[in-house]
A and B are shown apart, each in its own frame.
Chain A
Amino acid sequence: MNGEFALGPDEILFLFDGDNTVGIVKAGHLKRVFIETEDEELVQFLGPEDLIAASCFEGGEKAREMVRSMLFLVREGGTPLLVLRKSHPATQRLKLVVSAGDRIVLSGCIVPGTHPEQDVLCGKGAMDGIVLEAGEGRVLARGGGSPHAEKGRFL
């Protein structure tokens, strides 16, 4: 896809096909995200135009609500993100992943240890290969397939 979408702080942009859903909001007032690992706390600092994206490995209205809820918890609730080691049983249960920054690459084939640039987010189907970039009051999406795009109210 090759699109540019106006995106206000109270709006959410959904990209989706029948089986996968990605939601994108502006970081807005959220200045930092806490990332909690087994051993330590990491902090990712954000600017108001940066993006927070959640990817769900399901499609449909329920998936969109899951994505919206996750982004609400992170941005409005300040919920820290918990990182489990890949061998943890719960890792197989989770259906959502989250990424934040001024550039996010959606990839359906993330190989452990090969993305130290920390801007990748699991994104399958029509989302695989899409690069999201933050602009002032907008988000740019290029590459990948041709998912449906729909904007809605976030708050």
Chain B
Amino acid sequence: MCTTGGMPADIEISEVKFKRYKCKDCDNKFKGAGKRPVCPSCGGEDVELIE
């Protein structure tokens, strides 16, 4: 995705399908995309998809 702005015809970030996760170790909730979701707060790999 285009992530630093730039051109007038840019991607609409709100259209990107990020998913909501919850870390089972620290209860941190975050929105992410990609194959290997890891808690950005504690680094824990035990995360669950909540939405």
10 A-B pairs within 8 Å (CB atoms) are namely A42-B18, A44-B33, A86-B10, A88-B5, A99-B1, A110-B2, A110-B7, A112-B10, A116-B17, A120-B11
| Residue-wise interface mask of B (1-36) relative to A, using a CB-CB cutoff of 8 A (1 in contact, 0 not) | 111111111111101111000000000001111111
Chain A interface extent, by class: 35 or more
Give CA–CA (A82, B18) in the complex, Å: 16
B8 touches A110 (CB 8 A): no
Give CA–CA (A99, B13) in the complex, Å: 12
Residues of B within 8 A of A (CB): 1-13, 15-18, 30-38, 40
Residues of A within 8 A of B (CB): 31-35, 37, 40-47, 57, 70, 81-84, 86, 88, 90-92, 94-99, 101, 109-113, 115-116, 118-122
Q: Majority SS of interface residues in chain B?
A: loop
8 new A-B contacts, CB < 8 A, other than A99-B3, A120-B11, A121-B1, are: A32-B34, A45-B32, A47-B35, A81-B3, A82-B5, A86-B5, A91-B8, A97-B3
Q: What chain B residues lie within 8 Å of A84 (beta carbons)?
A: 5
Give CA–CA (A141, B39) in the complex, Å: 32
Q: What chain A residues lie within 8 Å of B4 (beta carbons)?
A: 70, 81-83, 94, 96-98
A90-B9 CB under 8 A given contacts A43-B32, A118-B16:
no
Q: What chain A residues lie within 8 Å of B35 (beta carbons)?
A: 45, 47
Within the complex, the shortest CB–CB distance from B39 to chain A, in Å, comes to: 9
A42 touches B32 (CB 8 A): yes
B34 touches A46 (CB 8 A): yes
